[in-house]
Each structure stands twice: as structure tokens, then as C-alpha cells.
A and B are shown apart, each in its own frame.
Chain A
Amino acid sequence: MFSKHREIFKFLSLVLVVLITPLLVHEGYLLNVLIFVGIHTILSLALNLLLGYAGQISLGQAGFFGLGAYISGILTTTHAINPWIAMLAAATIVTTLAFFVGFPILKLKGHYLAMATLGLGIIIYIVFNEAVDRTGGPSGLSGIPNLSIAGYTFNTDLKNYYLIWTFTLVAMGLSLNLVHSRIGRALRAIHDSEVAARVMGVNARVLKVQIFALSAGLSAIAGSLYAHTMTFIAPASFGFNFSVELVTMVIIGGLASIYGSLLGAALLTVLPEMLRAFQDYDIIVYGLLLVLMTMFMPGGLVKGIPELFTSIRARATRKVKTDA
């Protein structure tokens, strides 16, 4: 039972870091960036369950994220529905939708699955753009209310930080629980060999669809949170590029690792902000760093960083020995 305690300790130390961070950064713009780190963590977590654990790629995650944001946005602005109910509705609708779409789509494998999910994402994106009367079209939907609990409105960066990170930590906790359960083992079995998994009695077809629906639902919740913190949404934020960015977050962070999702999301959200110092060359530096990281840390940050430290330490001790 030692490893279980270890897991709990890891998670609690993360909770502690999340809790005290605002005390260190005060109410600056950085807090705003950290809000996006939280949202992106939920999204890359959702994709990692699908891609990292079950081995099924999706290039349409931005579509589900956008659907969540738009369902929440439209319900609260044009129909004056309570934001919490709107969020619930967004999650339910998107999960159901993904569940039914999932059966035909997840029969496909590899590149074909990538193409199908890519198409799905693009269709959703086109709907946001063209359904001008409902979505406001390309220039977006504004005036979305903040979330509130019993008169307490989440209207500052600090309040939103705690709100978003509560969701993020809950999502991480549940995912940790999931991947260490029987379902998590079944997912990894599908990843390694679907045929073998089915022989062992895993209902691969249904399980894949279920995890796909869960992934979409989680993304929709992230979308809803995004809509209520930004108070404005436009289709440009939910395009194909963002889907690719999410895949990058998962791969850079570390496939099949819950903490890897957090690291990947944090790096890809914070890095562009830090690189603004390079002015016009920031995109080149950004691209270069990503290439280097995938080359030298193939297991993602979650494996790469500790390895880096170990090798530095090994080198240091070797040096001490030779000096002596």
C-alpha cells in the first residue's frame, strides 16, 4: 500500500503548490496566464486519457472545447439560463453527442481515425462561423456572465484562479483514480494490443467510445469555464490549430501521465509569454525549443526533467570522484 500513499502525497503537494502560488505572484497578469494553464490542463488531461492511455488519437478536441463554450455562452446570453445549469447542459450534450458519434468514428484506426476526428473538429468550427444568428459568427459572442455561487461572483483573476484550479484538481484526481483502476488497466491493454485486450474479455469497442465521450465531456466543461471567465468567445479560438496545440501539450508533457498533462499545458501556455522578449523571432525560438524537447526528451517532460537532474547529479559525483 506504500505506492498508494505515495500517490496521495504527490497529489497533496500539488494541491499545496496551487493554493500558495497566488500569494507569490500577487494579482498580476501572471495570474491570468495561470488561469489558462488550468483550463489547458483539463483539456490536455482529457486528450491524454484518450491518446496516452487508450491510444486513440483525436484532432477534434478544440471542437468539443468550443461546443462547451458556445452551448454555455448561448444558453446564458440569449436564454438567460443560470451559468451552472448551462455548464451542466454543455457537458451532457457534448458527452451524449460524442458517445453517438464515437461508435462509427472509433471503428477507424491510426491515420484514418485522425482524419475522421479532424473532419469532425472542422465541421464544428464551420458551424460556429456560419450560424451567425445564434453564435454571432466570426466576430464572436459577448456579454457572457461570470459564474457565481449564492451572490458571490467570480469576477476577478484571483477568484477565477481558485475556481478554475478547483475544477482542474478535481479532474486530475478523478483521472488518477480512473487510470489506476480496472478501467485504466483495460485502456492500457487496448493501447498495447486491441486484439489481445478483447481476448482477455475487455469490451474494447464500448470502452473506447466511453473514454472518447468522457474526453469530450471534460473538454466541454473546460470550454464552459473558458466562456464564463473570458466573458467573450469567438470561433478563432476553437480552430484546427488549437487541436494540434493540445496534441503537442500531451506529447511534450508525457503520454499516459496525468502530471505530464499539467506540465505540457503549463509549458505551452507560459513559454510563449516568456518568449515575447524575442519580439518578432518568438515563433522561431518557440518552434526550435519544441523540436529540441521532442528530440532529447522523447518520453515528455514528466520523464525528461528527472532524467536531466539525475544525469547532472551523476556527472557531479563522477567529477568529485575524479577530483579525489
Chain B
Amino acid sequence: MRRILLTLATASVCIFAASISFASSATIKIGALFSVTGPPSFLGEPERNSAKMVVDEINAKGGIKGKKLELVVYDTGGDATKAVQAANRLIKEDKVVAIIGPSTTGESMAVIPVAEKEGIPLVSCAAGSKITDPVKKWVFKTAQNDGLAVAKIFEHLNKKKISKIAILTVSDGFGASGREQLKSNAAKYGIQIVVDDTYGPKDTDMTSQITKIRGSQAQAVICWGTNPGPAVIAKNVKQLGVKLPLYMSHGVSSKKFIELAGDASEGIIIPSGRVIVADVLPSSDKQKKNLIAFVKDYQNHYKAEGDHFGGHAWDAIMLLKGAIERGAETPAAIRDQLEKTSGLAGIGGIFTYSATDHAGLGKDAFVLVEIKNKDWSLVK
């Protein structure tokens, strides 16, 4: 009897200890959910770093209208359950006025019902188009829709008069969304998908899929995935002597991919945000100034190259900053002001939100780049 009471008492002490928290005032609290660990850490880590960096900068300049920003970051580990718990904690315990993230489409979809119910603006950093389609009152996003990247590739194929393609997509959230967009847009551009194959996120050899593609009528290969899979595919394509042009997704538009694929990366064409080609953009480009500042800052802080994943978080903070500068302080006012964002030159593109568009970017958010001499070059 005494035993069980003691056990129960200890359990309840454990639980209540977790509820103690400290509140602070005179700051504006922004919550952030990023998968800093787990499989999507290649997204979450640069996102967290960029968000912290830009918040520090804003505070160093005296904050927004004299109020400092406070960023509360929780790691979700790429797990939807954890993301929901952390979102609840941000809203109910930390009492944030807005949330940026999560990093992946799956987690974003899981957090959306929470944000909608509690009435807290959510600026997702994931790419899936279903996050803002249909439009949800409290939900915005900064990452470019996968459909825009697909359109960019298909336009290029049309120009090259290629009509039969093979697609090879990874079986995770990113690949599934890309596959869906590739299949649904192909007909519109008069393109026929002759091979539709997938590979697992942890596969280390894709020669069987590529052999199948080699035996087909495909005139080009589009691979949709994030590192390291596409690097393996690039190598396998070279090893098997396949001469077809190879297109990849924006999921590999970082220097890491060129490092991994080495010589095999030569000649691969990728739709990407402008950030990786910032220095070769014409000076008339509206984004150029911010892009170069972002890349340089990131280099100074973290000794690594700023990529467009980190850019999603940079954009999210800047969007919120804009809304708060226009006088919004409560979650509801911030939401209203976010929707009025117009012509904000960010890292991912130029954002213009409206009541019917919470994604905010056009096709021009992507440029096509080709890998030449282990560096990026713009495809005209």
C-alpha cells in the first residue's frame, strides 16, 4: 500500500516539475520548430542557424520598434508527434505570438490543426503545396512549391524538344510530392513519362533502376530526392555510361551534393533558389543584395555556405519582422499583416501574399543552374 502510494507520488512529482516555467515581458516571443536532429536534419540545422542569426542581428540593431525578439526553438527530430507536442508547448507554455517551421511537409500538416485551433500564425518552412492549398487562415509558407520547380524543368525540356522522360523519385515526403507534381503536370507540357520508378531514402545502389531506364525510350532522366541518394544516382549513371541528360530537384542544390557526387555531377541541371548563384546574378536583380548579405553572414557565423534551406527560415523571420513593424503585436494582427506582405525580397524569392495565396511565390522564384567545373552556372 505504502509502496504504491510512494510510487504514484513520485510519478506525479515528475509530471508537475515539468510544468514550472518562467515568463518574461517586453520581448516579442517567436516560436520555432525545426528538425535539428533526425533524417531531415539537413533542413532543420541550417534553418535553426539562420533563424538564430537573423534574430540576433535584429536585436543588435535595437529590436523591432524598441522591442527585442526572443526565439524559442524546439527540435522535432522529424517526428510529427513531437512536432505537435512542441507546438502545443510553444503556444500554451511559452505563449509565442507566431511559429516558424516545421521543416518537413508531414510535420507541417500535423501542426496545422493546432495552429488553426489556437489562432496562432504559422509560417512553415516546408515545400509541400498542400500546406497552403487550399488556403488556411493561419498558415503561410516560405519554401517554394515543388510544382514551380517541376514547371521550370519542363519548360527547359520543351525548349530542348525532349518529350519522353524517366522519373526516379525517393520514397519519402519530398520525393512523393515531387512525383505527384511531375505526373500531374507532364501532360500540360506535352511530356510523356515512360519510366516511373522509386528508390528508398537509404539505398546505396540504384543501378537496377538506371538499367531499366537505359532500356527504355526515355530521352532524359529526372531524379527527385535529397542527399545522399541523388549523388549515388549521378555516379551510377556515369558508371553505366548512360548519356541521357540528367535533371535533379532543388533538394540537392547545395555544395554538399557536388562534394558527394564529385566528377559525376558535371552537366547536371537543377532548378534552385537564387541563393547559390547570388554572385553571378545581374545587379538589377531585386534579391541580390539580401542574398549576398545572407551568404556572407552565414559564412561568418557558421563557417559554412548559406543554402536555400536556411533561407526559408531567414524569410520566415523577415516576414514576421515586416508584419510586426507595420504595427502588429497580437497573433491575430500579425496574421492580418502577414497577408498584406507585398514585394518582400527574400532568399527564396519575392514574397507577395494575399487572401487567396499564402505561398506567395511565382515561377521566377527558381532559376535553372548547371554544374560546370564543380560550381554552379546559370542556364540562360
Contacts and interface: CB of A to CB of B under 8 A. Distances in A.
Interface string A256-288: 000100110011001101101000101100000
B199 to A, nearest CB: 12
Contacts of A270: 14-15, 18
A139 B18 contact: no
A139 B15 contact: no
Given A9-B1, A32-B88, A270-B18, A138 B93 contact: no
A138 B12 contact: no
B5 interface: yes
Interface stretch (B170-178, B233-241, B311-319): B170-178
Interface residues of B, number: 50
Nearest to B92: A29
Given A138-B171, A237-B79, A273-B85, A306 B93 contact: no
A305 B104 CA distance: 40
Interface in A231-273: 231-234, 236-237, 259, 262-263, 266-267, 270-271, 273
Interface string A132-156: 1000011110100000000000010
Contact of B18 (A142, A155, A259, A273): A273
B173 A138 contact: yes
A17 B14 CA distance: 14
A276 B18 CA distance: 10
B209 interface: no
Grouping DSSP codes into helix (H, G, I), strand (E, B) and loop, the A interface class, with mixed when no group exceeds half, is helix
A236 B92 contact: no
B147 interface: no
A236 B80 contact: yes
A187 interface: no
B8 A13 contact: yes
Interface in B1-39: 1-8, 10-12, 14-19, 36-37
A305 B36 contact: no
Given A139-B105, A232-B80, A237-B80, A10 B4 contact: yes
B237 to A, nearest CB: 24
A239 to B, nearest CB: 9
B109 interface: yes
A139 B173 CA distance: 5
B330 interface: no
B128 interface: yes
A259 B8 CA distance: 9
Interface string B95-126: 00000000011110110110001000000000
Contact of B128 (A139, A259, A271): A139
Interface in B134-180: 171-173, 175-177
A77 interface: no
A96 B210 CA distance: 41
B170 to A, nearest CB: 9
A98 to B, nearest CB: 23
Given A139-B109, A140-B109, A305-B6, A273 B81 contact: no
Contact of A230 (B7, B19, B37, B84): B84
Contacts of A237: 79-81
B74 to A, nearest CB: 6
B91 interface: yes
B110 A29 contact: no
B17 A137 contact: no
Nearest to B111: A232
A233 B79 CA distance: 10
A232 B6 contact: no
Contacts of A33: 18, 85
B3 to A, nearest CB: 4
Nearest to B15: A270
Contact of B106 (A130, A231, A234, A280): A234
Contact of B36 (A157, A266, A274, A280): A280
Contact of A25 (B10, B19, B88, B177): B19
Contacts of B93: 28-30
A36 B79 contact: no
B296 interface: no
A7 B238 CA distance: 70
B81 A28 contact: no
Contact of A129 (B15, B130, B171): B171
A75 to B, nearest CB: 19
B7 A306 contact: yes
A142 B171 contact: no
B8 A28 contact: no
Contacts of A34: 15
Q: Which of A6, A32, A129, A139 has the most CB of B within 10 A?
A: A139
B256 interface: no
Nearest to A302: B7
A274 B18 contact: yes
A232 B81 CA distance: 9
25 contacts: A25-B16, A28-B19, A28-B92, A29-B85, A29-B92, A29-B93, A33-B18, A33-B85, A34-B15, A36-B81, A36-B85, A130-B198, A132-B176, A138-B106, A139-B109, A140-B106, A230-B110, A232-B80, A232-B112, A234-B80, A234-B110, A267-B14, A270-B18, A274-B17, A282-B75
Given A30-B93, A140-B110, 20 more contacts: A21-B12, A21-B15, A30-B15, A30-B18, A32-B84, A32-B88, A32-B89, A36-B81, A138-B173, A138-B176, A139-B104, A140-B80, A142-B112, A232-B112, A259-B4, A259-B7, A267-B11, A274-B17, A276-B74, A305-B10
Interface of B: 1-8, 10-12, 14-19, 36-37, 74-75, 78-81, 84-85, 88-89, 91-93, 104-107, 109-110, 112-113, 117, 128, 130, 171-173, 175-177, 198
Interface of A: 6, 9-10, 13-14, 17, 21, 24-25, 27-30, 32-34, 36, 129-130, 132, 137-140, 142, 155, 157, 230-234, 236-237, 259, 262-263, 266-267, 270-271, 273-274, 276, 280, 282-283, 301-302, 305-306, 309
